[in-house]
Amino acid sequence: MHAFTVDVEDWYQSCIDYDAPITARVLRNTGTILEVLDGCSVRGTFFVQGRVAETFPGMVAELVAAGHEVQSHGYSHRPLDRMAPAALRDELARAKATVEDAAGAEVTAFRAQDFSVLAGNLWALEALAEAGFTTDSSIFPMRVSRYGISGWPLEPHRLILGVGSMLEVPVAVCGLGRLRIPVAGGGYFRLLPERMLERAIRAIGADGRPAVIYCHPYEFAPGELAGHPGLPWKLRVTQEMGRRAFEGRMTALLRRLRFGRLDEVLAAWGVR
């Protein structure tokens, strides 16, 4: 079984204006994901942004009631690598508290905004541990244009920190010798051939590790950008590309492969 995860955020706030209000787009698009998961009898892990949890606490409570796992995706969508230590500690404390308040349950896992734990700010993992997180899924295990760490281990592994330890769970990257192919989700899922994605996820499983994939609510909303004609052309192209086929190809993968919650997947694979 592999892990299906969702980074619950509003595309406008994450791409255009960090301080823009969270809108009902998140509520509507997360509802679409829930319909897809229910149709495929799959439960997943939702990494919820703190500002989303503050705005729509009822949605977070419904995720828990439906049997999904709820964890943290930061408070704002400001990248962690641009934060000073004091700002980061405040971000993490608010990220944990807001989601816990909405979920009515403890939050122990974290995924950074834009995979913004990089080689230059690995000290952020210490801050995560100090904030009470025990599992992290923030490091993209290869270097791409905006994020990632070259040569990082592909499999889940435990990091020994100055304040304890942290279970690090990288998202799905397929290793073919020295070549690494990103098949984790997001734009990779929207653009790569569907058969290639399936074969890569099967290869990851055959290599003895779970594939951790991710998506965003807005990827299930083709045409949503049409109401925002002033967007930069590059952003519009990258955000719209592959959206129309996304729900269908995700549904097909969920039916052909076994997916579940991150916590249950790690337990099934014997990851501690």
What residues make up the domain containing 150?
2-268
Torsion sign over Cα 146, 204, 74, 13: positive
Alpha helices in 23-167 (DSSP H): 24-40, 50-55, 57-65, 85-103, 124-131
**Chain position carrying tokens 């979920």:** 103
- CA-CA distances (angstroms) from residue 187 to 8, 131, 132, 163? 15, 31, 31, 35
Q: At 77, which CATH number?
A: 3.20.20.370
Claim: this prediction has a pTM higher than 0.85? yes
Contact between 105 and 98 (Cβ < 8 Å) = no
**Chain position carrying tokens 């905004």:** 113
Contact between 6 and 45 (Cβ < 8 Å) = yes
Note the pLDDT of residue 98.
98
Note the pLDDT of residue 155.
95
In the chain, the number of structural domains is: 1
Digits of tens for pLDDT over the chain (272 positions)?
999 999 999 988 888 889 999 999 999 999 999 999 999 999 999 999 999 999 999 999 999 999 999 999 999 999 999 999 999 999 999 999 999 999 999 999 999 999 999 999 999 999 999 999 999 999 999 998 889 999 999 999 999 998 889 999 999 999 888 889 999 998 888 889 999 999 999 999 999 999 999 999 999 998 888 777 778 888 888 788 888 899 999 999 999 999 999 999 999 999 87
Query: CA 93 to CA 128: how far, in whole Å?
Result: 9
How many CB atoms sit inside 10 A of residue 109's CB?
23
Note the pLDDT of residue 131.
96
Contact between 141 and 148 (Cβ < 8 Å) = yes
Amino acid at 266: L
Note the pLDDT of residue 161.
92
3-state secondary structure of 48: strand
